[in-house]
A and B are shown apart, each in its own frame.
Chain A
Amino acid sequence: MENQVSRRNFLNRLGVTVGAAAAATAVPATYFAGPRPAHAAIKVKGNIPDKPFKTGHITFLTGPANLLGEPGRKGHLLAAEEINAEGGFLGKRKIETIVADEAAGTDANVKELRRMKLSEKIDLFTGVISSGNTPALGPVAEELGVLTMFNDGCTDFLFDKAVPKPKYVFRVTNIQSADGVTSAVGAAKAWPQAKKVGSIQPDYSYGRNVHEHFMLAFQKLVPGAASVSEAWPKLGTTDFTPHITKLLSDKPDALICGLWGGDYVAFYKQALRYGLFDKMKVATTLAFGGQPHAIGKDHPEGVLAGAHANYFFTHPAKGRWPINDSFVERYYKRWNEYPSFESDGAYVSLYLLKAAIEKANLLVGGWPEDDVIISLLEGMGMDTPAGYLYIRPDNHQGYKDTVIGMTKNDPKYDFPIWDPKSIITIPIRDITAPPNWPKPGTSHNESTAAANWLKTTWLT
Chain B
Amino acid sequence: MHRGFDGPAVRRMRHGRLASRDPIRRGVVKRVAGVAMTAGLLVAGGQSGAGHSVGHYPSYYPDEIRIDAVDPAAAAKGLGDETLHAYVSGTPAFAGPVPGHVKSVRSLGSFLVLSFNTASARFASADGRCTAARGILAALSEEKAAGFIFHPYPVTPYHADYLHHLDRIDAVTAVIGGGSTPASSLKVGAKGGLAEAMVKARWGLAADGADAVLEEVPVDELIAAAGVRFDGWSGPPWAKEGWFQAHQLLAPGLDAASRRAVDEDYARLIHGETVGLTERVNLERRLVEALNNGCQRTVVGYAPKEENVNEAYPAGIENVAYDSLSGLNSPVFFRTVKLKDYPWNGKLHLGVRERSDAAWNPVAGFTDVMGRLIWSAIGDPAMIQFPFNASWMPNRLQSVVTKVEGQSGGIRVPADAVRPQSGTGALQRVDARTFASAKVTYEVLASPFEDGTEMGVADLIYPFVFAYRWGAKTDTGDNTSEPRLAATLASMQERLAGLKFVRMERTTHAIAEGMNIVQKTPVLEVYLRNVPGDEQQMAALAPPWSTVPWHLLALMEEAVIRGYAAFSEEESKRRRVPWLDLVRDPALRAKLQDLIVQFERERYRPETLKDLVTADEAQARWRSLGAFAEKNGHFLVANGPYRLKEWTPDSVVLQAVREATYPLGFGTFDRFVNPPRAVIEAVTQDSGEIAVRASAEMILKMGRKYQAVKEPLLRKTMRGTLGLLVVSRYLLIGPDGTVLNVDKMQWREDGRFTINLPERLPPGPYTIILAIFLDGNSMLPSAKMLRFRVGGAASPG
Contacts and interface: CB of A to CB of B under 8 A. Distances in A.
Bound together = yes
Interface of A: 60-68, 70, 73-74, 77, 98-109, 111-112, 115, 129-136, 152-158, 160-162, 176-177, 179, 202, 204-206, 208-210, 235-238, 258, 260-263, 265-266, 285-286, 289-291, 293-294, 296, 298, 308, 335-338, 414, 440, 447-448
Contacts of A155: 47, 49-51, 513
A103 B515 contact: no
Interface string B94-114: 000000000000000000000
Given A205-B512, A238-B658, A266-B63, A107 B49 contact: no
17 contacts: A60-B53, A62-B26, A65-B54, A104-B33, A104-B35, A107-B34, A132-B514, A155-B50, A157-B48, A162-B47, A177-B49, A205-B48, A205-B49, A205-B512, A206-B52, A238-B63, A258-B52
Nearest to A64: B57
Q: For A130, A132, A204, A289, which residue has the most chain B Cβ atoms within 10 angstroms? A: A132
B72 interface: no
Interface string B332-346: 000000000111111
A132 B36 CA distance: 16
A272 to B, nearest CB: 13
B570 to A, nearest CB: 40
Contacts of A293: 703-704
A67 B343 CA distance: 8
Please classify the interface of chain B as helix (H, G, I), strand (E, B), loop, or mixed, using the class held by over half of its residues. Answer: loop
A162 B48 CA distance: 11
Contacts of B54: 63-65, 130, 204, 235
A244 to B, nearest CB: 15
A103 B55 contact: yes
A-B pairs with the 8 shortest C-beta distances? A105-B34, A131-B51, A236-B658, A209-B50, A62-B667, A262-B344, A336-B702, A108-B33
Nearest to A236: B658
Contact of A107 (B31, B56, B509, B665): B509
Contacts of A208: 50
A12 B346 CA distance: 43
Given A236-B659, A296-B341, A205 B51 contact: yes
Contact of A205 (B23, B513, B670): B513
B513 A206 contact: yes
Nearest to B27: A62
A106 to B, nearest CB: 4
Contacts of B530: none
A265 B49 contact: no
Contact of B513 (A99, A204, A261, A296): A204
A435 B46 CA distance: 25
A103 B704 contact: no
Contacts, number: 246
Contacts of A447: 48-49
B24 to A, nearest CB: 11
Contacts of B668: 62-63
B702 A261 contact: no
Contact of A131 (B53, B64, B344, B722): B53
Nearest to B704: A293
Contacts of B34: 103-109
Of the listed residues A160, A238, A338, the one surrounded by the most CB atoms of chain B closer than 10 A to its CB is: A238
A64 B666 contact: yes
Point out which of B514, B665, B723 has the most chain A C-beta atoms below 10 A from its C-beta.
B514
A417 B512 CA distance: 29
A160 B49 contact: yes
B721 interface: yes
Given A62-B670, A296-B314, 12 more contacts: A64-B343, A66-B670, A99-B723, A100-B21, A107-B34, A109-B34, A115-B20, A132-B51, A155-B50, A262-B346, A338-B703, A447-B48
A262 B345 contact: yes
Contact of A260 (B49, B52, B705): B52
B511 interface: yes
B18 interface: yes
Contacts of A237: 658
B49 A131 contact: yes
A223 B67 CA distance: 53
The interface centre, meaning the residue of B49, B667, B703 with most chain A CB atoms within 10 A of its CB, is: B49
Of A152, A260, A261, chain B has the most CB atoms within 10 Å of the CB of: A261
B660 interface: yes
A336 B703 contact: yes
A259 to B, nearest CB: 9
B49 A448 contact: yes
A442 B46 CA distance: 18
A103 B668 CA distance: 10
A169 B235 CA distance: 51
B698 interface: no
B770 to A, nearest CB: 30
A103 B56 contact: yes
Contact of A206 (B343, B344, B512): B512
Contacts of A204: 44, 54, 512-515
Given A235-B515, A265-B343, A108 B659 contact: no
Interface string B246-283: 00000000000000000000000000000000000000
A294 B314 CA distance: 11
Contact of A448 (B21, B48, B64): B48
A201 to B, nearest CB: 10
B342 A262 contact: yes
Contacts of B314: 296, 298
Contacts of B512: 130-132, 204-206, 235
A252 to B, nearest CB: 22
A294 to B, nearest CB: 5
A130 B703 CA distance: 23
Contacts of B667: 61-64, 66, 103
A172 B80 CA distance: 48
Contacts of B20: 100-101, 104, 108, 112, 115
B513 A132 contact: yes
Contact of B27 (A61, A67, A236, A258): A61
Contacts of B30: 61-63, 101, 103-104
A130 B516 CA distance: 13
B507 interface: yes
Contacts of B31: 103-105
Given A64-B53, A131-B53, A265 B703 contact: no
Given A105-B34, A293-B703, A236 B57 contact: yes
A290 B343 contact: yes
Nearest to A204: B515
B707 interface: yes
B23 A414 contact: no
A130 B56 CA distance: 11
B656 interface: yes
Contacts of A289: 52
Interface in B633-669: 656, 658-660, 665-668
A65 B703 contact: no
A63 B665 contact: yes
Contact of B49 (A109, A209, A238, A285): A209
Contacts of B721: 70, 73-74, 77, 99
B510 interface: yes
Contact of B515 (A70, A132, A179): A132
Contacts of A64: 53-54, 56-57, 343-344, 665-667
Which of B509, B511, B513: most chain A CB closer than 10 A?
B513
Contacts of B532: none
B511 A132 contact: yes
A39 B30 CA distance: 47
B58 interface: yes
Nearest to A154: B51
Given A73-B721, A100-B26, A262-B345, A105 B33 contact: yes
B493 to A, nearest CB: 38
Interface string B687-709: 00000000000000011110100
A129 to B, nearest CB: 5
